[in-house]
Amino acid sequence: MLSFRRATLLTLIAAAAVAVAFTPRAGQAQAPVPNQGAGPRDERDVKIAAPDLPDHQKWLNSKPLTMQQLRGKVVLIDFWEYTCVNCIRTFPYLKAWNEKYKDKGLVIIGVHTPEFQFAKNDQNVADAIKRFGLDYPHISDAAYDVWRAYGNKYWPAKYLIDAQGFVRYWHFGEGGYGNTEEKIQQMLKEANPKVDLPPLTDLVRGADKPGAVCYPVTPEIYVGFERGGVNGTLGNREGYRPEQVVDYRDQGGREDGIVYLNGPWKSTREAMISTRANNGKRDYLALRYHAIEANIVLKSETGEAITVLVEQDGRPILKQDKGDDIQYDDQGRSFILLDKAKMYSLLKNAKFGIHTVRLYPQDPGMGIYSFTFVSCELPKK
């Protein structure tokens, strides 16, 4: 049975959450809109007793903490997932706030709640924390215990708790950085009126600044049969055949946001997995999308590093359009080296557009889990 305190928190959060705006597919023209921060949020001055942190959690970067021990501190609970692009884009602000306010009464607790099975692995989470340089305490919430305690439904999600142990503010999605930091400073001042606080953090990306616009993008794509089958992700006639290897044939023709396969692939609950050595371009996944940036979640199912050739619009990725994880071989071919289960940055196009990307795994065992897209920018004058 829900306690009254938790039920109240869930009710207010549910009332505050609004549906994420529908993003049209390419061909449904829409003008770019001002970037006001992604995701539903509520910024009312509420006051709700914070849920206790469940016992027997795996803590990283810290010994186990309780809300009682944290009384007198301002606490920021940040729900995140290490393959989530929206979460990753908030890290510069979280790191800045931790550095600026950790000695002034703020404690940030990252709660890593997994979206994929491999993200339940504590070592994978620990590696991600180190890779992103997140030095504050974290909980590996593999069983969703903290997620459920907060009635949370979003990555990323931030809950700000005052020194008396009350949730006073929350924000879902990206954006709202200035508002959130103002609330942090307000609660620090309430806890210690004499605290000397620095200026607010500068916005780190053009896409976060006033005047930025967000173009319509291809929605997030899940490739495994569990969600892909519901969403109509796969465009091949053969369709999904759960836990079977199917020799797919790409018939040509492209619809935005639909995955097309060629060659033998195994369909699993969360991913499509390549099943033979390629040594070229015989087996591939093709996807038409519209965005500025494109990212992909991959895992080597064999545990061995896999080279994946990547092309856009029928040629190697232009250097001005390359994502952070794209490399080039001595033949000028663009590729990524799949050596960790994580999100890979494929493309950061110089400008918004409609493109077709192809991935050619050179070895069996490449698991493709999802694609995400970003299209906010500060227009050049």
The per-residue pLDDT for range 331-353, each reduced to its tens digit, is 999 999 999 999 999 999 999 99
**pLDDT at residue 65 above 50?**
yes
pLDDT band at 6 (very low <50, low <70, confident <90, very high): very low
Q: How much is the average pLDDT of 143-163?
A: 97
Percentage, residues of the chain above pLDDT 90: 83
Q: How much is the average pLDDT of 191-204?
A: 95
Percentage, residues of the chain above pLDDT 70: 88
- What is the distance between the alpha carbons of residues 217 and 16, in angstroms, rounded to a whole number? 25
Tell me the backbone φ, ψ of residue 289, rounded to 5 degrees.
-145, 165
**pLDDT at residue 58 above 80?**
yes
pTM of the model: 0.88
**pLDDT at residue 239 above 90?**
yes
Tell me the backbone φ, ψ of residue 169, rounded to 5 degrees.
-160, 145
The per-residue pLDDT for range 34-55, each reduced to its tens digit, is 444 444 444 556 789 999 999 9
Q: How much is the average pLDDT of 253-265?
A: 97
Domains of the chain: 4-211 (3.40.30.10), 221-377 (2.60.120.260)
> 41 or 104, which is more confident?
104
**pLDDT at residue 25 above 80?**
no
pLDDT at 278: 86
pLDDT at 13: 55
Q: How much is the average pLDDT of 45-73?
A: 94
